[in-house]
Structure 1
Amino acid sequence: MRSPGRPEPSRVVQREFWRLIATGVTTVEASLAVGVSWPVGTRWFRHAGGMPPISLVQPSGRYLSFEEREEIAILHAKGTGVRQIARALGRDPGSISRELRRNAATRSGTREYRATVAQWKAQQAAKRPKVAKLVANERLREYVQERLEGAVRRADGTVVAGPEAAAWKGRKMKPRRADRRWATAWSPEQISHRLKIDFPDDESMRISHEAIYQALFIQGRGALRRELVACLRTGRALREPRARTRNKPQGHVTADVVLSERPAEAADRAVPEHWEGDLIIGTGRSAIGTIVERSSRSTLLVHLPRLEGWGENPPVKNGPSLGGYGALAMNAALTASMTTLPEQLRKTLTWDRGKELSGHAQFALETGTRVFFADPHSPWQRPTNENTNGLLRQYFPKGTDLSRWSAEDLQAVALAINNRPRKVLGWKTPAEVFTEQILSLQQLSVATTS
C-alpha cells in the first residue's frame, strides 16, 4: 500500500463535518468546529459538490474506532502486550494482533503503529469502489446528456443558437446577471421520470435524479462533464444545503432588532409614531426610498441620487455602491428625511431585510428612531408600506429608470399620494389625518407643560 503522506482526518471527523454542514452552518464554521483548517473544509465541500460523499450513519461497534486506535498506539508504545491491550479495550486479542500487523506504518523501514496512519489504512481497505451507472451505460449517458445540453430547435428542426454565453468558470452561473447558453435543459427529475415512459421495457435505462446530480456535482465521478451544471435552471455548481438556504447570513439583523421586539403599541396603529419603509427598485440599480406612517398612511419619498463616478468607473468588488442606495448613502438620505419630522412622531421604523439599512445602529443614534426588521419573505408584516408601494407604481412603473427624478419631483408625487382620500381613513386624506395628529400632540404638550 502506498504511503499516505500526511493522512487525512478520520471518517469520524469528516462525518461530523458533514452533519454540521447539513444544519446550515458555513464551511468555515464547520471546519473550525471539527478541528481542521478552513481550506481543508472548503476543499472537502467543493470536491464533493456540497453533497456528503460518505454515509452519515454511525458505524457499528464491530469496527475499531479512531479513539480505540489511539489507545492501542499509546499502550503498544509502553510495551503492553497484545492480550493486555485487548482486555483494556474489551476486544478479542486476535483483533488487536491483526490491527498491529496490518495497519502499522512501515515508511521508516520498521513496523511502527500510529493511530492516524492505521485509521487511513483501514479506511482505504474498507472502500468498495462502485462504477457509476452513467459510466458503465453509454446509451443512458448519451440520453441524459442530450436532455441536459441538447440544442434548442425550431418546429422545423433547425437549431437556434441563442446568445453567446461566457465560458464556464467552475462557479455558479448567476442566472439573472448575464446571458446563459440556450440548451434543452431538462431537470434531472424530468429526465429520470421520462426514462420510464420512453423505455418502459428496458430496465437498464433507469437512473434516479439524485444519481444525475451526483454525477454533475461530485468531482471524480467522471460520468458527466462538470460544466453541464450550467444547463441546470439554477446554474449552481455546488449543492447548497437546505438548512443553509434558510439561514442566509444577515449580520445586520441581530436579536434585538427583529420584529418580535417591536413595541406592542405599534401593532394597533393607535399612536402616530411608527413607520414602515422599503425601496422600490428601477432599472440600472436605481431606487427610491418609501416611508409610510402606520396610523395616518402619510408617505415620505427618499431621494437616492447616483453617486459620483456612476457609469464612469468600473464596479469594484466589495467597493462602495455608486447606485445611490448603499449603506452610507441610504443612512444619510433616510436621516435627512426622518429628521424633518417632530421627534415624538418618529419612534420606530420597520424595514425589510435589505442590506441597504445595515447601518441602522448609526441611524438610530442620529435620529432617535429605533429600527426593526421584518422576518424573511414576510412582506405582510409591513402591510401599509407594501400597499403604498403598489400605489406609487402608478408614477414609477417597474422596468423604468428611477434615478431621472429629482427630489422636487418625488415631493410632488408624495404630495399627490398624501392628498388622495383613503377609504381606511373614512375618506379623509393622509395629510389631513397627519395634521390632526400633530395638532393633537402639540395641544397635549402644552397642557402637560402648563
Structure 2
Amino acid sequence: MSDLPVVVVGAGPVGLAAAAELAERGQTLLVLERGDHAGAAVAQWHHVRLFSRWAELVAPAARRLLEPQGWQHPDVDGYPTGEEWARLYLRPLADALGERVRFGAEVVGVARRGRDRVVDDGRESEPLTVHVRTVDGGEERITARAVIDASGTWTSPNPLGGDGLPAIGETAAADRIVYQVPNLTDATVAARYAGKHVVVAGSGHSALTALVAFAGLAERHPSTRITWLLRRGTVGAVFGGGEADQLPARGALGMRAKAAVEAGYITVVTGFRTEAVERGSDGRLVLLSSEGQRLEAVDEVAVLAGFRPDLSWLSEVRLALDATLQAPVALAPLVDPNVHSCGTVYPHGVKELAHPEPNLYLAGMKSYGRAPTFLAMTGYEQVRSIAAALAGDRESAERVELVLPETGVCGGSGVFDAQPDDQSSCCGTPSGAQDLSLSAPSAR
C-alpha cells in the first residue's frame, strides 16, 4: 500500500499540521475539507480572540514549510482572532500544500475495502476506502493506506438539555437559540440582543467569552438582562486561575467574566439542568429544570456547553473508545475531567491514539471526545507522532514531549455538580484548557 495516500480529514489547524508533517517526511497525502477554504470552521467564529499567543498556534512543521516560501510569522506575542488565524496562517499553509488539499469534499464514510466491521478475513491486507460526497452532489471512493481524522467537533455542539439530549421543545425554539458565541461587534447581531433577556448556558471559555461580550452590551444598553445558567451546583473555580494562569489571556478572560458578575451585569443561576423549553403567549421562552425550577420571560439563549465528536461516518471501522468520553481508551484517563487531577496533560501520541483498525487515527479536538481541555499545541504534537509512525520512524513516534500551560478551567459540562464550595482539591492548578478556536478545529 506504500503508493496510496494518507488521507487527512479536515483542513483546520490540526489537519493541516498533519499534512505538513507528512509532507516533510515525503509521504503521499491528501487533505479533504468539505468547506470551500482552509479553516472553514474557524471562519465561523472569526470575531473571537484566542487566548493562546501566535507562538503556540503555528505548528513547527508548518513553519518549516512556509518560511522558505517567504511567509512571515506574525508577532509571536500577539493574540489573533479566528479570522486572523485563518487568513494569516491556515490559508497560506493550505496554499503551500497545493493540490494535496481538496475543498468541497465531504467525507461521509470510512471502511476497510470489501469488508464491513464484522469481517476479520483479509482485513489487515486491504487498504481503507474513504467515501466522499462532492459539492455538486457526486460520489467518490478514495483508497488510502491510512486515515487521520482531524475533523474536529464544531458541527456537533452539545444541546441545552441537561441529560445530553435536546430538551423538550428545544428544537421547536431554534429561532431563539444559538450554539455559538454571537458576534456583538456586528450591529445587526447586537440589535438582536440589546434590551432583551439573554440566557447564557455553559461554563467553559466560550461561555465566559460570551458573558464578557454581553456584559459590554448591557453596559451600553442598560435594559439588557443577562442570566448565566450553570448545571453545576456552585460557581466554584469556573473563572480559572486568574493572574496565576500560565496563559495570561486565558486568566484575564476569567477575571473579566468574574468582574462582570460582581458588577451586577450578570445574574447567576446554579444547579439548573434544563428539561423543557416552552413558549409563552408573548412568544418569549420559559426554561424548566428537572427539579421544577422555572426561568421565565427569556428572549434569547446562547448554549455554549461544549461539543461532542460525530462518529456516525466511522461506523464501519473498529474503534476502541472510552465508554464515558468517547476518546481513545488509552487517552481517556489522561484527560477525563471527572477524575484527573487537572494538572498538565501527559504527553501522548501514536500509542495512545491507535485503534484496533490499523492505520486509523482520531487527532485534534475529536481525539478528546467530550473532554474540554484541549490546546492547539496538543494536536500538533499528536500528528507529529502519528506522521513519524506512518513514515516508519517508530523511535521518533514514541518520543513524545509536550508541556502545557497550567491553571485553566478543567471541568466540562456536568462536572462538579456536587462539589463543595472549596474545590481546591480538584482545580488548584487546573490543566491546559481548550482554545476557543479548537472547540472544533475544522469542518469534516
More strand by share: 2
Structure possessing the higher relative contact order (Cα contacts under 8 Å, 6 or more residues apart): 2
More helix by share: 1
Larger radius of gyration: 1
Q: TM-score, normalised by structure 1?
A: 0.20
